[in-house]
C-alpha cells in the first residue's frame, strides 16, 4: 500500500494512506474539506481525518497558520474541546486527525427528537460554553458555533449524562481572512448562527461565539433557530435588524426570565452581551431554575486517548455527492477582519467595553437593504435547500461585474440618524451576500423546474394532520384517461424490478432468475441487449449513483452487475454476490449516497441486511462484506433514505425509521422508532427535498404523505395527507418534476369489482386535502414497479402476470 496524493480530497480512495492513516470510509464532506473514518496503525485506534481542499493547502501562509492554530486548539486544556491528535501536511495534503466520536451531533439529535428538555439543553450549552471560554482565553475564536459542531460522546443515561465536545477549531477563526482567501471566495460561518458584527465585517471576539451559542440554545429549546427564514437574505436581514422571538411563546412552561437571558446574549452590539460564554450559560441555568452548577459541577467521565469517537459532519446525506440544493444549504459567510481577544470589562456596565477603534453602534431598524432587481429573490422563493440551519461551511464565488468592480459597489446600509452611512455593501461580505441572493433566485427556479415547490411535496407550510386509514377493499372512483400513448414489450420471464441507468440510455429488469438489459431507443419500445442469468433475481434493483453497478435483490442479499459490461453484451457481467448468513426473501435494494453500503430488505426473515459494497468491489466479494442485520419485523419491503434516516415499510402496517449511520456501524441498534402507517404499507418515496415521505398502503388502497420531521419527534401527528388510489397499490414514482405521483394499482386480491391500472395523483392536492386522484391508465394484469426513462418522457411499468414491460408517454398524463 502506498501513499496517495490526490488532486482533490474527493479523489482519495478507501484504503489509501494519508500521513500514515488508512482511510476506511468517507463520513462527511463540506465546502473546504472531506472527513474520513481512518485507522491509525501506529496507535491501533480509529480517528476522524479531515483533509482540506487543495485551494487552501496550496496557500503557504494559510498552511502555516492553520497548523499553528490547530495545534494551539489541541493544547487548550478543556475536556469539551474535541481532541486533536495531529495536524500537518503530507505530500501536499493538509489534514487534521482528531477523536472519532460515535454519539453523533446535537443538531442531528434535535432533528431526530425535537426540542430538548430544558435541563439537558442547559447542560449541553454549559459544556460548550466551557470549551469556548477556554479557547477565548488563548485568543482563539471559533466563528462557526452551531449544534452540528457539538458532538455527543455516546448515549446518555441516568448515571451517564451527555458529554459534549466542540469541534472544528482550526478552520473557524481568522486564518482565511489573514491569507486573503475571503476575498477569493472562501467564506465562513452558518447564516442561522452568525452574529451581526461577523456579517458586517467588523472585528470579532468571544462575544461573537456567544451570539452563535445563544442561537443554538434557542434551537435546542424550541426546535429551530431564532431567525430561521425562507432564504439566506432574509436570515441576514433578521440577524442585523430584528429582535429575537420569545421562547416562552413557543414553550409556555419555560420561565419568563429565559427570554431576557436569550435577548441579552443575542444583543446586536457585542457590548450588550454577557462578558463570557460561561456567564451566559450560568444565567441560562439560573433562569431555568436549575441552580448555578455548570458543566464541570460533577466528576467527568474519563476519555482515554484510545476511546473511539465521531466528529460532526452537518447535514451530510449519506456522505455522497450532494445535490445543488444540499450544497447551497450550507452556504456561509465570515468577516474579513482578524479575530480579536476579548474586550476589557467596563465595571460601570458589567459588559465588555469596545476595543479601540471598533464601531459598536447598532443599526436602526429599517426596511432593510435593497438588492438590485436582478439579484432579489422572487417573492416567496426559497433558497436551495430551504433551511440554512444545518449546513456546513461552503465556498462561495466572488461574483464581480464585467468591469471588475464588485456587484454591490453602489449600495450602502442605513445607520442611526446622524451617523455616517456605513458602506457594508462594500465590505467583503457583499460578495457573499449577493451570491446568497443569487442562490435564492436559483431556489425559485429549482422549485419551478424540479418539484421542490408544493408539487414536489415540500410540506413546509402544511400543519394539518389526518387520521390513518384502516383496511379496506373499497375501490376509488376516477375516470380512465384517454389519449395516453403506451406500448408493451414482452419479457422473457415474470418482470418485477425495473431501473434505468442514470444517463437514461438503458433499462434493467429483473424477470425471475435473470436480469434483462434493454436499450432505450427514444420510442416506447426498448430493444433487448441481453439476458443475464442470475438465480433468485426476481425482486427490486437499484443503481449506484455513478451508474457503474446494478445491485439486484436476490436470495439472502443481492447480485452485483457491472453495467458497462452488461450493456456491451459481455457474457458474464456479474461482479459478485452479497450474501447474508441466515437471511431470506430479499425484496428491495437501497444504496448509500456515497455508494459504500448496500441495504437489502429481507421480507422472509423480518430484517434488513447491511453490506459493505465498496469493500466487496475493491477487495473481492466475501463473507466479510456482510455487516449485520437491522431487526425490523412485519415483513419489511420498501425503503427510502434522506441520508440521516432510512424509512422502511412493512407489510404488517408499520413504518420503521432507521438511523443510517447506526445501520452502517451497529445495525442491531439502528432502529430509532416504529409507528403505524396504515394497513399493509408497500413502498416508500421521498420528495426531492426529503420533507415528505410518500407511502403506498396496499391494504388501505391509499397513498399516504408523512412529514419526515415529525416521524421521530411527533409520530402521532406525522401523517399530513392521504388519498384513496385504487386496489392494492404497490410501486410509485414521481413524474412531471414531482407534481404528480404515478402508482401501480395491482388488484393483487383479484377483486372482480376492481381492475389493475396506474393511478395518477396530484401531490399538491393531497397535501392541501383536496381531490387529488386525476385518473387511471389501463395496464396488464399485475403492475409492480415503475421507473422513468430518457429525459423523463417515458414511464416504464413492470407487469408481473402479463410478462410485459409497459411504456407510457408522460406528456400525455394530466
Residues 500-527 have pLDDT tens digits of: 999 899 999 999 999 999 999 888 989 9
Note whether 333 and 181 are within 8 A (CB).
no
Split at pLDDT 50, 70, 90, the class of 347 is: very low
What pLDDT was estimated at residue 216? 97
Give the residue-averaged pLDDT of 546-567. Answer: 97
Query: What is the mean predicted confidence (pLDDT) over 302-311?
Result: 28
Nearest to 135 by CA among 181, 95, 174: 174
Which among 401, 402, 403, 408 is positioned nearest to 432, based on CA atoms? 408
In angstroms, the CA 263 to CA 252 distance is 17
pLDDT at 752: 75
Q: Pairing mode, if any, of strands 681-686 and 506-510?
A: unpaired
Q: How many residues does the chain have?
A: 814
| 67/413 Cα distance (integer angstroms) | 37
Q: pLDDT category, 119, cuts 50, 70, 90?
A: very high
For the stretch 642-690, pLDDT in tens is 999 999 999 888 999 999 999 999 999 999 989 888 788 999 999 999 9
With 80 as the cut, is the pLDDT of residue 489 above it? yes
Q: Which residue has cell 416567496? A: 380
Catalytic positions: 144
- Can you tell me the mean pLDDT for 344-363? 30
Confidence of residue 268 (pLDDT cuts 50, 70, 90): very high
pLDDT given for residue 292 in this prediction: 57
- The DSSP secondary structure of 64-99, one letter per residue, reads HHHHHHHHHHHT---TTBPPEEEEEEETTEEEEEE-
Q: State the pLDDT at residue 262.
A: 97
Least confident stretch, 138-142, 307-311, 448-452 = 307-311
The fraction of the chain above a pLDDT of 70, given in percent, is: 72
| pLDDT for the residue numbered 331 | 31
Q: Partners of 786 in the beta sheet?
A: 797
State whether residue 250 is helix, strand or coil.
Answer: helix
Alpha-helical segments (H) within 368-449: 428-449
Give CA–CA dist 96/63, Å, rounded.
12
Calculate mean pLDDT across residues 712-741. Answer: 92
Q: Per-residue pLDDT for 299 more than 70? A: no
∠ CA 437-413-215, rounded to 5°: 65
Q: Across residues 154-180, what is the average pLDDT?
A: 56
Grid cell of 546 as nine digits: 455513478
Taking 70 as the threshold, does the pLDDT of residue 340 lie above it? Answer: no
Return the ∠ at Cα 646 (arms to 713 and 633), rounded to 5°: 90
- Retrieve residue 557's grid coordinates: 442479499
C-alpha cell belonging to residue 73: 486548539
Among the residues of 223-276, which ranges form H helices? 232-241, 247-250, 257-265
Q: What is the DSSP string of 765-810?
A: HHHHTS--EEEEEE--S-EEEEEEETTTTEEEEEETTTTEEEEEEG
Q: Identify the residue with better confidence: 368 or 730.
A: 730
Grouping H, G, I as helix, E, B as strand and the rest as coil, residue 135 is helix
Q: Which range among 26-30, 130-134, 618-622 shows the weakest confidence by mean pLDDT? A: 26-30
The position carrying cell 449600495 is 411
**Burial track 113-138 (b if 16+ CB lie within 10 A, e otherwise):** eebbebeebbbbbbbbbbbbbbbbee
As a whole-number percent, the residues of the chain with pLDDT over 90 amount to: 48
The DSSP output letter for 748 is T
* Model pLDDT, residue 82: 85
Tens digits of residue pLDDT in 209-265: 999 999 999 999 999 999 988 778 889 999 999 999 999 988 999 999 999 999 999
Mean pLDDT of 590-602: 96
Cα-to-chain-centroid distance, residue 302: 32
- pLDDT at residue 30, rounded to an integer: 61
Residues 6+ away with beta carbon under 8 Å from 574: 532, 534, 559, 560, 561, 562
* Rg for the chain, CA atoms, rounded: 27
Lowest mean pLDDT among 110-119, 128-137, 732-741, 745-754: 745-754
The terminus-to-terminus CA distance of the chain in angstroms comes to: 57
Q: Give just the sign of the alpha carbon dihedral 335, 337, 342, 344.
A: negative
pLDDT at 360: 26
Q: What angle do CA 725, 731, 735 make, to 5 degrees?
A: 80
Instruction: Give residue 10's pLDDT.
Output: 52
pLDDT of residue 73: 67
pLDDT at 131: 93
Q: Determine how β-strand 645-650 pairs with β-strand 636-641.
A: antiparallel
Cβ neighbours for 608, distance < 8 A, ≥ 6 positions apart = 599, 600, 601, 602, 629, 630, 632, 636, 639, 646, 648, 658, 663, 667
Which H/E stretch holds residue 743?
Answer: strand 740-745
pLDDT tens digits along 369-384: 332 222 223 332 333 2
Cα 195 to Cα 205, 367, 594, 655: the distances in Å are: 11, 20, 34, 41
Distance from C-alpha of 203 to C-alpha of 59, rounded to nearest angstrom: 23
| Average predicted confidence (pLDDT) for the chain | 76
pLDDT band at 34 (very low <50, low <70, confident <90, very high): confident
- Per-residue model confidence (pLDDT) at position 456: 43
pLDDT of residue 529: 96
Q: Which of 502, 497, 452, 454 is nearest to 792 (CA)?
A: 502
* For residue 93, pLDDT beyond 90: no
| Domains (range + CATH), the chain | 9-98 (3.30.200.20), 106-293+323-343+385-400+419-449 (1.10.510.10), 486-631+784-814 (2.130.10.10)
The CA–CA distances, whole Å, from 765 to 44, 217, 454, 737, 741 equal 57, 37, 9, 15, 11
> What is d(CA 314, CA 333) in angstroms, rounded to the nearest whole number?
16
As a whole number of angstroms, the distance between CA 533 and CA 272 comes to 73
Report the range of poorest mean pLDDT among 142-151, 553-562, 599-608: 142-151
Pairwise pLDDT comparison (781 vs 496), residue with the higher score = 496
Are 610 and 640 in contact, with CB atoms under 8 Å apart? Answer: no
Q: Which residue has the higher pLDDT, 753 or 806?
A: 806
What is the pLDDT averaged over residues 462-482?
A: 85
Checking if the pLDDT of 273 tops 50, the result is yes
Question: What is d(CA 295, CA 165) in angstroms, rounded to the nearest whole number?
Answer: 12
**Is-contact 484 777, C-beta < 8 A?**
yes
Return the HEC string of 175-229. HHHHHCHHHHCECCCCHHHCCHHHHCCCCECHHHHHHHHHHHHHHHHHCCCCCCC
Cβ atoms of residues 201 and 337 within 8 Å: yes
> What's the mean pLDDT in 269-297?
84
How far is Cα of residue 33 from the mean position of the Cα atoms in its chain?
17
Of 114, 123, 174, which is closest to residue 144 (Cα–Cα)? 174
Output the CA–CA distances (angstroms, integers) from residue 652 to 64, 248, 283, in the order listed.
Answer: 59, 41, 50
Q: Binning pLDDT at 50, 70 and 90, where does residue 168 land?
A: confident
Give per-residue pLDDT as tens, 535-547.
999 999 999 999 9
Output the nine-digit C-alpha cell for 517.
438489459
All cell numbers assigned to 387: 433551511
pLDDT in tens, 410-444: 222 333 333 333 333 334 444 444 444 444 434 43
Asked whether residue 757 carries a pLDDT value surpassing 90, the answer given is yes
Check if the beta carbon of residue 670 is closer than 8 Å to that of residue 663. Answer: yes
Amino acid at each position: 500500500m502506498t501513499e496517495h496524493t490526490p488532486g482533490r480530497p474527493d479523489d482519495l480512495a478507501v484504503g489509501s494512506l494519508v500521513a500514515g492513516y488508512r482511510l476506511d470510509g468517507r463520513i462527511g464532506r463540506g465546502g473546504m474539506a472531506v472527513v474520513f473514518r481512518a485507522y491509525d496503525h501506529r496507535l491501533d485506534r480509529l480517528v476522524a481525518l479531515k483533509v482540506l481542499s487543495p485551494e487552501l493547502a496550496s496557500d503557504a501562509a494559510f498552511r502555516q497558520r492553520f497548523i499553528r492554530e490547530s495545534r494551539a486548539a489541541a493544547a487548550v486544556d478543556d475536556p469539551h474541546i474535541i481532541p486533536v491528535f495531529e495536524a500537518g501536511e503530507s505530500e501536499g495534503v493538509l489534514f487534521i486527525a482528531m477523536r472519532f466520536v460515535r454519539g453523533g451531533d446535537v443538531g442531528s439529535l434535535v432533528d431526530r427528537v425535537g426540542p430538548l428538555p430544558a435541563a439537558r439543553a442547559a447542560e449541553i450549552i454549559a459544556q460548550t460554553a466551557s470549551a469556548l471560554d477556554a479557547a477565548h482565553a488563548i485568543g482563539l475564536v471559533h466563528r462557526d458555533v452551531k449544534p452540528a459542531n457539538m458532538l455527543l460522546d455516546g448515549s446518555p443515561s441516568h448515571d451517564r449524562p451527555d458529554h459534549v465536545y466542540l469541534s472544528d477549531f482550526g478552520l473557524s477563526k481568522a486564518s482565511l481572512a489573514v491569507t486573503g482567501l475571503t476575498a477569493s471566495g472562501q467564506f465562513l460561518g452558518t447564516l442561522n448562527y452568525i452574529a451581526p458584527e461577523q456579517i458586517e465585517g467588523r472585528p470579532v471576539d468571544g462575544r461573537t461565539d456567544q451570539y452563535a451559542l445563544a442561537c443554538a440554545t434557542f434551537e435546542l429549546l424550541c426546535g429551530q433557530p431564532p431567525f430561521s427564514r425562507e432564504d439566506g437574505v432574509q436570515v441576514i436581514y433578521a440577524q442585523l435588524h430584528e429582535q429575537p422571538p420569545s421562547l416562552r411563546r413557543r414553550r409556555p412552561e419555560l420561565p419568563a426570565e429565559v427570554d431576557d437571558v436569550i435577548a441579552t446574549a443575542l444583543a446586536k452590539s457585542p457590548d450588550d452581551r454577557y462578558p463570557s460564554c460561561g456567564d451566559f450559560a450560568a444565567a441560562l441555568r439560573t433562569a431555568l431554575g436549575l441552580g448555578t452548577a455548570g458543566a464541570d459541577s460533577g466528576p467527568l467521565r474519563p476519555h482515554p486517548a484510545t476511546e473511539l469517537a465521531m466528529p460532526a459532519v452537518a447535514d451530510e446525506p449519506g456522505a455522497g455527492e450532494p445535490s445543488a440544493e444540499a450544497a447551497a444549504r450550507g452556504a456561509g459567510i465570515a468577516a474579513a477582519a482578524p479575530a480579536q481577544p476579548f474586550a476589557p470589562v467596563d465595571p460601570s456596565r458589567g459588559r465588555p467595553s469596545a476595543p479601540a477603534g471598533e464601531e459598536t453602534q447598532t443599526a436602526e431598524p429599517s426596511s432593510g437593504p435593497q438588492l438590485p432587481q436582478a439579484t432579489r429573490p422572487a417573492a416567496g422563493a426559497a433558497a436551495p435547500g430551504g433551511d440554512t440551519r444545518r449546513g456546513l461551511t461552503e465556498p462561495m464565488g466572488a461574483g464581480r461585474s464585467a468591469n471588475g468592480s464588485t456587484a454591490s459597489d453602489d449600495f450602502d446600509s442605513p445607520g442611526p440618524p446622524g451617523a455616517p452611512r456605513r458602506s457594508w455593501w462594500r465590505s467583503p461580505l457583499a460578495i457573499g451576500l449577493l451570491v446568497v441572493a443569487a442562490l435564492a433566485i436559483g431556489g425559485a427556479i429549482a422549485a419551478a423546474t424540479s418539484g421542490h415547490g408544493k408539487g414536489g411535496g415540500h410540506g413546509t407550510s402544511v400543519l394539518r394532520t389526518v387520521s390513518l386509514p384502516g383496511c379496506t377493499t373499497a375501490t376509488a372512483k376516477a375516470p380512465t384517461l384517454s389519449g395516453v400513448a403506451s406500448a408493451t414489450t414482452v419479457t422473457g420471464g415474470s418482470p418485477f424490478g425495473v431501473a434505468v441507468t442514470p444517463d437514461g440510455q438503458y433499462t434493467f429488469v429483473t424477470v425471475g432468475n435473470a436480469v434483462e438489459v434493454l436499450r432505450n431507443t427514444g420510442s416506447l419500445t426498448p430493444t433487448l441487449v441481453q439476458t443475464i442469468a442470475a438465480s433468485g433475481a426476481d425482486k427490486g434493483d437499484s443503481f449506484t449513483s455513478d451508474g457503474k453497478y446494478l445491485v439486484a435483490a436476490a436470495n439472502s442479499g443481492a447480485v452485483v452487475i457491472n453495467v458497462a459490461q452488461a450493456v456491451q453484451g459481455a457474457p458474464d457481467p456479474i461482479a459478485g454476490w452479497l450474501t447474508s448468513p441466515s437471511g431470506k426473501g430479499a425484496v428491495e435494494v437501497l444504496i448509500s449516497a456515497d455508494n459504500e453500503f448496500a441495504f437489502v430488505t429481507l421480507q422472509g426473515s423480518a430484517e434488513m441486511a447491511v453490506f459493505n459494497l465498496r469493500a466487496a468491489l475493491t477487495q473481492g466479494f466475501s463473507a466479510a462484506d456482510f455487516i449485520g442485520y437491522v431487526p425490523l419485523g412485519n415483513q419489511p419491503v420498501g425503503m427510502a433514505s434522506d441520508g440521516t434516516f432510512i424509512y422502511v415499510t412493512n407489510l404488517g402496517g408499520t413504518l420503521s425509521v432507521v438511523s443510517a449511520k447506526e445501520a452502517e456501524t451497529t445495525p442491531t441498534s439502528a432502529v430509532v422508532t416504529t409507528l403505524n402507517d396504515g394497513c399493509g404499507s408497500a413502498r416508500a418515496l421521498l420528495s426531492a427535498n426529503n420533507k415528505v415521505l410518500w407511502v403506498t398502503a396496499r391494504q388501505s388502497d391509499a397513498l399516504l404523505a408523512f412529514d419526515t420531521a415529525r416521524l421521530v419527534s411527533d409520530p402521532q401527528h406525522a401523517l399530513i395527507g392521504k388519498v384513496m388510489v385504487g386496489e392494492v397499490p404497490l410501486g410509485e414514482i414521481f413524474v412531471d418534476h414531482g407534481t404528480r405521483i404515478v402508482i401501480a394499482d395491482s388488484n393483487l386480491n383479484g377483486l372482480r369489482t376492481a381492475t389493475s391500472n396506474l393511478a395518477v395523483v396530484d401531490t399538491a392536492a393531497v397535501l392541501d386535502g383536496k381531490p387529488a386522484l386525476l385518473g387511471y391508465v389501463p395496464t396488464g394484469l399485475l403492475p409492480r414497479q415503475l421507473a422513468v426513462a430518457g429525459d423523463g418522457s417515458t414511464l416504464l411499468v413492470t407487469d408481473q402476470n402479463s410478462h410485459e414491460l409497459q411504456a407510457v408517454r408522460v406528456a400525455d398524463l394530466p
